[in-house]
């Protein structure tokens, strides 16, 4: 296998399309298809199943995709760390992001700074939150973007944005009958929920939400590997799901925002964190100022920023 084949697989998983993945990887579709066929032959199992409507990961693909992305992330880190060593004067900002961060909003938050500072390289690394905070503590990252209040440590933190939490019912069957415009937690507290591993911050935030309302969260014994799988399992009737709005696909599966007793939407908040003792470099200080002073205006200027 080679890195290009792994990039092809990651792109197909993220786009859900061989055509879109080929465009993203700047190759022809036959080249991408041949690369995936060779990778599947070497691994010994199919990664994707194609229907007339979409491309989806097989159970084997769901299992190995995190390891594929880990290899790609490690290669990116190797290249940039080599550049840092060979070019010590080069200005670099290393940002670790939770998979739960909205990619669209991430671009909106970073791009104005990059335009003002074209000589600064911004390197993104998406991983689970435990590893991100470990790397931040070890000085391997400069900033971490993730769910607010999931890690207590000697960090400086600033609010980035928030978005509504969405309830996806099992088999599109709603408590009480027809789909409402919103649901209160008390009305869905007895559902069994499919969850992802406690790596991105979503599971921890969901459990905290139920605890805050003195409700017991009933969790399905298995775990999904992606937000898409949560929706698919809900559609199959395995359990209900809770997702941030930006992670709900346009598949048409019935869903509704969750509200509190006062009718206000229940949201999940995201923040940027960095070390109290680091950031002596001017470009890092400037970026932390950008996060505090510029980003709130950018997100506020989008209206409901999570819809971008």
Q: What is the CATH number of the domain that holds 18?
A: 1.10.10.10
- Tell whether 84 is covered by a domain: yes
pLDDT at 34: 93
The per-residue pLDDT for 306 is 43
Other C-beta atoms lying within 10 Å of the C-beta of residue 273: 23
Same domain flag for 297 and 236: no
pTM of the model: 0.70
Task: Give the count of domains, the chain.
Answer: 3
pLDDT for 276: 76
Residues 166 and 259 in one domain: yes
Are residues 177 and 262 part of one domain? yes
Containing structural domain, residue 175: 162-267
200 and 220 inside one domain: yes
pLDDT tens over the chain, length 308 residues: 899 999 999 989 888 888 888 888 888 889 999 999 999 999 999 999 887 677 889 999 998 998 898 888 788 777 767 766 666 566 789 999 998 998 888 999 999 999 999 989 898 988 888 888 888 887 888 999 999 876 666 688 999 999 999 999 988 766 666 666 788 888 899 999 999 888 888 998 999 999 988 889 999 998 887 888 888 899 889 999 999 998 988 665 678 899 988 888 999 999 999 987 765 688 899 999 999 999 988 887 654 444 43
Indicate which CATH number applies to the domain containing 233. Answer: 3.40.190.10
Residues 150 and 87 in one domain: yes
- Same-domain check for residues 151 and 283: yes
64 lies in some domain = no
308 inside domain = no
Q: Are residues 169 and 180 in the same domain?
A: yes
63 domain residue, yes or no: no
Task: Confirm whether 185 is domain-assigned.
Answer: yes
């Amino acid at each position: 296998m080679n890195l290009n084949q792994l990039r092809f697989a990651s792109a197909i998983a993220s786009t859900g399309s061989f055509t879109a993945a080929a465009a993203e990887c700047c190759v022809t579709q036959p080249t991408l298809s041949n690369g995936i066929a060779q990778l599947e032959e070497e691994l010994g199992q199919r990664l994707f199943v194609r229907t007339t409507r979409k491309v989806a990961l097989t159970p084997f693909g769901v299992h190995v995709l995190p390891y594929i992305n880990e290899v790609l992330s490690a290669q990116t880190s190797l290249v940039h760390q080599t550049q840092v060593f060979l070019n010590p004067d080069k200005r670099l900002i290393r940002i670790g992001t939770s998979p739960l961060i909205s990619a669209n909003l991430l671009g909106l938050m970073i791009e104005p700074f990059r335009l003002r500072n074209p000589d600064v390289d911004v390197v993104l690394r998406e991983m689970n939150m435990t590893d991100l905070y470990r790397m931040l503590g070890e000085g391997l990252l400069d900033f971490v973007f993730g769910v607010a209040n999931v890690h207590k440590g000697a960090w400086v933190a600033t609010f980035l944005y928030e978005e509504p939490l969405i309830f996806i019912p099992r088999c599109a069957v709603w408590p009480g009958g027809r789909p409402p415009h919103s649901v209160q937690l008390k009305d869905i507290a007895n559902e069994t929920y499919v969850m992802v591993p406690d790596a991105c911050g979503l599971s921890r935030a969901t459990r905290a939400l139920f605890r805050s309302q003195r409700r017991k969260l009933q969790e399905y014994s298995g775990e999904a590997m992606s937000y898409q799988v949560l929706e698919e399992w809900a559609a199959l009737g395995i359990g209900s799901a809770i997702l941030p709005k930006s992670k709900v696909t346009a598949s048409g599966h019935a869903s509704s925002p969750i509200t509190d007793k006062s009718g206000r939407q229940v949201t999940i908040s995201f923040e940027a964190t960095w070390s109290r003792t680091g950031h002596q470099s001017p470009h890092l200080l400037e970026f932390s100022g950008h996060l505090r002073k510029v980003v709130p205006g950018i997100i506020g200027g989008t209206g409901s920023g999570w819809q971008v």
